[in-house]
């Protein structure tokens, strides 16, 4: 599933994208491109988010107060903007994780029932 490119889909999948971003930043701060690669990595290639579609989400989440950004140096000694989770962001990640857990359990049960 590639990242959504128009508004309707964004709303549907916004929650999912947000959670992916939060999860990627759980352990370490990263810049935009890094987050995109990390999402691809931890979902084993299922989600491929274009960096361009990541930026609106990152900025929005920063305004929500879940992320905070700062300029730093990338591994190749180039300037890049790094994002990391805030306390509120961590709380959001926890609650989202729990919610998704409940949902997937429910769906699994529904599919098992005959």
**Least distance CB 111 / another protein (angstroms):** 35
Size of the site for another protein (CB under 8 A): 24
| CA 25 vs CA 57, 68, 75, 83, 108: distances in Å | 14, 11, 17, 8, 28
> Could you give the CA distance from residue 65 to residue 86 in angstroms, rounded to a whole number?
7
Scanning residues 41 to 100, which ones bind another protein (CB under 8 A)? 50-53, 55-57, 59-60, 62-66, 74, 76, 78-81, 88
For residues 61 and 44, the answer to whether their CB atoms sit within 8 Å is no
For residues 56 and 79, the answer to whether their CB atoms sit within 8 Å is no
**Least distance CB 3 / another protein (angstroms):** 10
Could you give the string, one character per residue 1-30, with x where binding to another protein holds by CB under 8 A and - elsewhere? ------------------------------
Burial (CB count <10 Å: 0-12, 13-18, 19+), residue 20: buried
**Least distance CB 87 / another protein (angstroms):** 10
**Least distance CB 104 / another protein (angstroms):** 26
**Residues making contact with another protein (CB under 8 A):** 31-33, 50-53, 55-57, 59-60, 62-66, 74, 76, 78-81, 88
């Amino acid at each position: 599933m590639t990242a959504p490119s128009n508004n309707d889909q964004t709303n549907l999948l916004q929650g999912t994208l947000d959670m992916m971003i939060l999860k990627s930043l759980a352990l370490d701060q990263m810049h935009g491109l890094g987050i995109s690669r990390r999402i691809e990595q931890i979902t084993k290639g299922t989600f491929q988010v274009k960096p361009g579609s990541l930026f609106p989400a990152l900025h929005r989440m920063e305004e929500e107060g879940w992320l905070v950004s700062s300029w730093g140096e990338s591994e190749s000694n180039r300037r890049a903007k790094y994002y990391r989770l805030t306390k509120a962001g961590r709380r959001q990640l926890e609650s989202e994780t729990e919610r998704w857990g409940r949902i997937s359990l429910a769906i699994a049960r529904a599919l098992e029932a005959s």
